[in-house]
Each structure stands twice: as structure tokens, then as C-alpha cells.
Amino acid sequence: MYVHVLGSGAGGGFPQWNCNCVNCKGVREGTIKTTPRTQSSIAISANGTDWILFNASPDIKKQMDDFPALQPARQVRDTAITAIVITDAQIDHVTGMLTLREHNKPWDVYTTQAVYEDLTTGFPIFNIYDHFRGINHHEIATDESTFTIPTAEGLVFTPVPLKSEAPPYSPHRHNTVPGDNIGMLIEDTRSGKSLFYAPGLGEAEPHVLEYMRNSDCVLVDGTVWTDDEMSHEGISDKRAQEMGHLDQSSDGGIMDILKSMEKPRKFLIHINNTNPILNEDSPQRKILDAAGIEVSYDGMELEL
């Protein structure tokens, strides 16, 4: 299985267009050691030729330009993306669908029923597709039953319901239902290796911990260092938990969870522009390094 990180940032990317926090100002002025990031998305392939897109970031055009394998130019209009899996209906994970509207046939799109409802009502992207080539919708169950995708031979996908948060335009906001947010276990039946992907994670429930613990690699929510991080910069009084994200540094946070796991290689993804770990010389980044937890970056590649 081939894994390519198209984008590793949270909503707004890094630097965010209107943000002058310490990090965003530092990357613009070149005063901190860091790397810009687009909004989170990954691509998975069983054979290195056909790719499954996980979440369609608003930055999808740049991400495809930076990863030529997705534009193989075999015909006048072409793409190596063969299907799209959407893990939640948040703006930073679905707006790229508008860029992909000019596909020459209906997209095969995999979502839960909850996400499908949000994307046909509060943010009706799928309705807009009715005026183009449309989509072939494949419902993802929320009972942890596995499924396969025809263009990813040898890969088995297990959706894992997560406690996180529905988007602001969802009727489930602050009253989530199963399927508003999922993680995904991806297993390669040929190599026996597995990846657990969860860019949004508000609570580490026992069943989620079990999937993470038994995976060979995890790519999980790295949005914020502290629960009240946004208020430190004078940006917002909202806490990370209100937005559906578990912070890294508190007792029982993402760092504690990952440190307790021996098997998987551990990566953080969906990193907010305010998070001090983006500064590679920061004390917080050094703490992560000492804990054996890696910070993903745009263009990062894994082979499992």
C-alpha cells in the first residue's frame, strides 16, 4: 500500500490567509524553522497507479500539481484518482469537490449517510454535481463492517465511528450521530500491513484505541497542542473539544495515547496554524520528538 500525504494542515492551511499568529507571521517573515502546509487530505494506492482520494481539500488543485502521479495524462482529460472517500462533511474536507466537478464521468464517492445528508442539504455540493456528471454514491456503514473499492485490489477498508463534531451547517452540530465523523482502518491483504487514519478525533473511545494499537501506522488528529490554544493568540474562545478535536499535551491527550502504543509508527496530521509543533525548533516539537511521535508534512510518502 502506498500512502501520499497531499495536505497536513487543518482548516485554513498554514499560513492561514488572514492570520498573524506567531506561527503564521513567522513563516511569512522566515523567522521560524517550519514548512507551509495545505489543508488535510491523503491519497492511497494499492498499485502505485490508481489512487483513492481521502477527503477533497479546498487546496486540491495545488496538491495535484505537487503530486504528478494524480495527473498521468493518458488522454485529453485524465486523472489517476479513481474514487473519493470522505470522512466528514467539514469545509476543509469537502470543498475540493467543487474543483473536481469537471470529471468526465460520475465520481465514485464513499460517505456515511450522515455525511451524505449534510452534503445534500446544509452544504449541497452533491446537488451541484447533478448539473455536471453527478456522483455514484456508495454508503459507508457505521457498524465497522468492511468494504472494498474495485480500483484498490488487495486493500480492505474498515470505517470506525468517532466522537468528534459535525460541521456548523449540520443539524447534528453539538448533537452528533454515528457517521458524522469516521476514522478508517486500511489493511493491505498482500503485505499484511495496516494504516489507521483519523484527521478528526474528539474522544479516544476503547474501540478506537484498539484499532490504533493494532495498526502498523497511525495518522491521527494533531490539530492543537492545548485545548485553549486559540484563546492564547486572541483568536477565539472556542476550545478544541468544542470543535471536535482532542489536544496533544493534556493528561489523556493524543500524546499520552500514542506514547502508550508500542506497535504503530505514529504521525500527527490536520495541524492547526496556531500549533507550536509547526515550529521545528519549539520545545513542544522536541517533546514530540522525544516521545517518538512524528509530524506529517505535505508530500510525505509511506509504503506499507
pLDDT digits (tens, 9 = 90+) for 220-252: 999 999 877 766 667 766 665 666 688 999 898
User: d(Cα 4, Cα 299) in Å, to the nearest integer?
Assistant: 6
User: d(Cα 39, Cα 270) in Å, to the nearest integer?
Assistant: 7
User: d(Cα 129, Cα 172) in Å, to the nearest integer?
Assistant: 23
User: d(Cα 154, Cα 47) in Å, to the nearest integer?
Assistant: 9
Give residue 237's pLDDT. 66
Give the rounded percent of residues in the chain with a pLDDT score beyond 90: 88
CB 267 within 8 A of CB 217: yes
Q: Where would I find the beta strands (DSSP E) of the chain? A: 2-7, 41-45, 51-54, 81-85, 107-112, 135-140, 155-161, 182-188, 194-198, 217-221, 265-269, 293-295, 301-303
Give residue 240's pLDDT. 56
pTM for the model:
0.96
Number of H helices, E strands in the chain: 10, 13
Give residue 234's pLDDT. 72
pLDDT digits (tens, 9 = 90+) for 97-133: 999 999 999 999 999 999 999 999 999 999 999 999 9
- State whether residue 267 is helix, strand or coil: strand
The top-level CATH class assigned to 2-303 is alpha beta
**pLDDT, mean over the chain:** 94
- State whether residue 26 is helix, strand or coil: helix
Give residue 239's pLDDT. 64
CA Rg value for the chain: 18
Q: Locate the domains of the chain by residue range.
A: 2-303
pLDDT digits (tens, 9 = 90+) for 40-98: 999 999 999 999 999 999 999 999 999 999 999 999 999 999 999 999 999 999 999 99
Give the rounded percent of residues in the chain with a pLDDT score beyond 70: 96
pLDDT digits (tens, 9 = 90+) for 243-292: 668 899 989 899 999 999 999 999 999 999 999 999 999 999 999 999 99
Question: Average pLDDT for residues 176-194, to the nearest whole number?
Answer: 96
